[in-house]
Amino acid sequence: MGTLLRIGGTLWPYRKRIFLSVICAVLVSALWSLNLSITYPIVRVLFENDSLHTYVDAEIVGIEAEIEKFSDILREADQSDTSHRANIQRKLNDASQRLVFKQWLRTTVLPWIPSNKFDTILAILALVILATVMKGTFQYAQELLVGSVVYASSNDIRRDSFEHVMDLDYQSVQSQGSAQLTSRLTNDVNILSEGLRLSGSLLVREPLKAICCILAAMLFNWRLTCISMLVLPLIGIVFYRAGRILRSVATGTMETMGNIYHCISETFDSTRVVIAFNGQPHHREQLVSANKDYYDTSMKLIRVGALMRPATELLAIIGFIGILVPGAYLVLNNTDKIAGIKLASGPLGIAELTTLYVLMAGILDPVRKLSGVFPVIKRSSAAAERIFAVTDQLTNVPETETPVPAVTHAKHILFDNISFRYESSEETFLDHPPTLQDVSLKVNFGEVVAVVGGNGSGKSTMISLLPRLIDPAIGTVKIDGVDIKDLALKDLRKQIGLVTQDTMLFDDTIYNNVLYGNPQATATEIESAIKQAHAADFISLLPQGLSTHVGAKGQKLSGGQKQRISLARAIVRNPSILILDEATSAIDAESEAVIYDVLREFSKGRTVFIISHVINQQFVDLIDRIVVLEAGQIIADGTHGDLMANSPEYERLVQSDVVKRAA
């Protein structure tokens, strides 16, 4: 119910269109039952050799005689026998209502109907054609209205989910995985859209058609109609039990589709490695396994859905027979009772029975369609739960409700007694050692600080705290004495520039990739940043210059070129704090030297953090301090000379780098 209410909330802005679609569905259903009810006058004319005028006149005479009879009985009835008098009065009222209706037919409808029987049949068939055209028109309008609502609301859901993910912290996004998030925002939203479309069209229209047929059938014989309705609770039980199974299986199907997304995206993102290591068979096996899981769960869904249709049709046929058998008995024996139980207001005629037969068939068709729609509806419900699970996830880096005014960094940055542990399953969380433990560090404005250590030492994690990609479990990070949690995230990150090892360029032009660092930058500022990053030379050689598209993830550029564009993106931001996270570890020596030259100029008047496990002379000449991390703790802090003399761990890092470079 909570999921349905949330879906209803997304549909609420389009309530006017929804209301109009429901009106169209009501009109379609009424015209549907009208077309079926026309069976009655056709049978009267063709098989009972009776004109409608004669039939209505005879009905009026008969009802008037019936009213006179009941009136006489009521006058002669004992005044003290209130139960008997009330029963006769009800019959008298019922006859009076039927008389009013028949008189209305004679005075209003019959003047438009020819008295000739063949002409009457032609007029009825013309009415059927007109009603069918009108029904088709309203059905077309309903489908258009429902489609516009469904796809507009689906876009809203996808947009809102995407925006919510964009507000999550880095760790939360990574824990979901890009493949699973992509699956939920594409495949799951498409499944939800299909369910909403069927709900807005068939799930509204088909029950209304069945209800209109039931109401029409009750006008002809409410007693027999009620007998056929006894199967409705059994149909409800079938839908309920199948629904519980379908939801569980549908969730599994969408999870396995997420695994397929993961397999494909991981393979294509690692194409160079896959080809170089002849890893194609491994990835084929992965996809085959993921496909098999998807096939198995999908077949469970199909099996349950396939069983629903024959089961519901069988129950509907039983209800249909509930009218046909006693109705046939009444017609063949020209009576209105079976075993003393009154089942009709008078002897049942072939026209009444035929019309009831047709109307029951009219009920069977919606039931059959709904049994096919129901699995799709349950699948879309499971999809909605998966989508809303994303939008319900809370960020681990919440925005403060009362941010303090932003002040550009000009004094110092303080890491105060920081501890941090990455999320994991609840059972093993405490078994994992903390990534950072009791880390304290003060960096003055304008310092260039290198944070070094082996893999897994916690250096990248420590610096990720500064732009609040993650938040510490214990301790605080302060800029100029202000806890960064008290700053608006936008204000905090505006004064931080980031260059990473895995250079991420967007599938756009070089100009727009640099502009991404500062959307308010002018063309002059963009060109200046590119020159500072020593990227102007190679860009000038490109046929389209700054308008050159770099391709997905910058694949059209070399590693060094991508890194210079990334550096230009940080420069145009003009940050007071610059972070280089292993920014030179994946590029050639020439590009590395260029970047160090850039940093010598650009680092002036700002605080710079360089995260690296590479130690070389250019590195030493650039930095003011070196902080050494090991197992999540700061084990040394000082200049290169001090650490070489006093820190064996730092000396090993330097020696390791020398060996690497010699190799």
For the segment 415-444, what is each residue's pLDDT rounded down to a tens digit?
Answer: 999 898 876 544 444 456 788 888 899 999
Please state, for a pLDDT cut of 90, what percent of the chain lies above it.
8
Q: Which helix (H) or strand (E) holds 649?
A: helix 648-662
Burial class of 415 by CB neighbour count within 10 A (0 to 12, 13 to 18, 19+):
buried
What's the CATH superfamily of 2-51+115-392? ABC transporter type 1, transmembrane domain (1.20.1560.10)
Task: Kindly state the average pLDDT of the residues 33-52.
Answer: 74
Confidence of residue 140 (pLDDT cuts 50, 70, 90): very high
**Range(s) of the chain covered by CATH 3.40.50.300:** 506-574
Judged by phi (left if over 0) then psi (alpha if -120 to 50, else beta), residue 545 lies in left
Note the residue count of the chain: 663
CA atoms within 13 A on the CB side of 400: 17
Q: What is the pLDDT of residue 366?
A: 85
- Helices in 556-639 by DSSP H: which ranges? 559-571, 589-602, 617-622
For the segment 113-129, what is each residue's pLDDT rounded down to a tens digit?
Answer: 777 777 777 877 888 89
- The neighbour count for residue 130, using CB atoms within 10 Å, is 11
1-10, 466-475, 585-594: which has the minimum mean pLDDT?
A: 585-594
For the segment 141-195, what is each residue's pLDDT rounded down to a tens digit?
Answer: 999 999 999 999 999 999 998 888 888 888 888 777 788 888 888 888 988 888 8
For residue 89, pLDDT over 50 is answered with yes
Return all residues near 70 (Cβ < 8 A) that are at least 6 apart: 88, 91, 92, 95
Across-strand partners of 449?
Answer: 609, 625
Query: CA dist 607 to 34, 91, 272, 592, Å?
Result: 81, 96, 37, 20
Q: Strand, helix or coil at 607?
A: strand
* Pairwise CA distance, residues 283 & 271, whole Å: 11
Q: Strand, helix or coil at 557?
A: coil
- Output the six-digit token pair for 421: 């542990």
Confidence of residue 137 (pLDDT cuts 50, 70, 90): very high
Helix axes 523-532, 589-602, angle to 10 degrees: 120
Q: What is the pLDDT of residue 662?
A: 39
Return all residues near 639 (Cβ < 8 A) that are at least 6 apart: 624, 625, 626
Q: What is the pLDDT of residue 460?
A: 85
Q: In what order do the strands lie in the sheet with 607-612?
A: 496-500, 577-581, 607-612, 448-452, 625-630, 633-638
For the segment 580-608, what is each residue's pLDDT rounded down to a tens digit?
Answer: 887 665 556 666 777 777 888 888 888 99
- Output the six-digit token pair for 511: 């100009």
Q: What is the pLDDT of residue 429?
A: 43
What's the chain's average pLDDT? Answer: 82
- Output the six-digit token pair for 654: 């330097």
CATH 3.40.50.300 fits 506-574, yes or no: yes
For the segment 499-546, what is each residue's pLDDT rounded down to a tens digit?
Answer: 877 778 888 898 998 998 888 889 999 999 898 888 888 888 888 888
- Output the six-digit token pair for 546: 């700054």
Q: Please state whether the predicted TM-score (pTM) of the whole model is above 0.85.
A: no
Confidence of residue 133 (pLDDT cuts 50, 70, 90): very high
Residue 219: closest CA among 355, 364, 367, 32:
355
Query: CA dist 407 to 234, 333, 492, 531, Å?
Result: 69, 97, 9, 29
Q: Which helix (H) or strand (E) holds 118?
A: helix 117-166
Q: What is the pLDDT of residue 17?
A: 92
For the segment 237-290, what is each residue's pLDDT rounded down to a tens digit?
Answer: 887 777 778 777 878 888 888 888 888 877 877 776 777 767 788 888 888 988
* Pairwise CA distance, residues 451 & 463, whole Å: 9
- Give per-residue burial for 301-321: e unless 16+ CB within 10 Å, then b: beebbeebbebbeebbeebbe
pLDDT greater at residue 133 or residue 425: 133
Across-strand partners of 17?
Answer: none
Contact between residue 643 and residue 626 where contact means Cβ atoms under 8 Å apart? yes
**DSSP characters for 279-344?**
-HHHHHHHHHHHHHHHHHHHHHHHHHHHHHHHHHHHHHHHHHHHHHHHHHHHHHTT-SEETTEE-S
Residue 296: closest CA among 264, 259, 243, 268:
259
For residue 614, pLDDT over 80 is answered with no
182-191, 299-308, 543-552: which has the minimum mean pLDDT?
A: 299-308
Task: Kindly state the average pLDDT of the residues 463-488.
Answer: 89
* Pairwise CA distance, residues 270 & 264, whole Å: 10
Query: CA dist 645 to 373, 555, 650, Å?
Result: 76, 44, 9
- The neighbour count for residue 240, using CB atoms within 10 Å, is 9
Confidence of residue 26 (pLDDT cuts 50, 70, 90): very high
126-140, 605-619, 632-646: which has the minimum mean pLDDT?
A: 605-619
Task: Kindly state the average pLDDT of the residues 339-360.
Answer: 78
43-47, 61-65, 101-105, 432-436: which has the minimum mean pLDDT?
A: 43-47
Q: What is the pLDDT of residue 174?
A: 79
Please state, for a pLDDT cut of 70, what percent of the chain lies above it.
93
Query: CA dist 260 to 266, 629, 660, Å?
Result: 10, 39, 39
* Pairwise CA distance, residues 640 & 655, whole Å: 13
Contact between residue 218 and residue 293 where contact means Cβ atoms under 8 Å apart? no
For the segment 313-337, what is each residue's pLDDT rounded down to a tens digit?
Answer: 788 788 778 777 888 888 878 777 7
**Range(s) of the chain covered by CATH 1.20.1560.10:** 2-51+115-392
Return all residues near 318 (Cβ < 8 A) that are at least 6 apart: 231
Task: Kindly state the average pLDDT of the residues 491-505.
Answer: 83
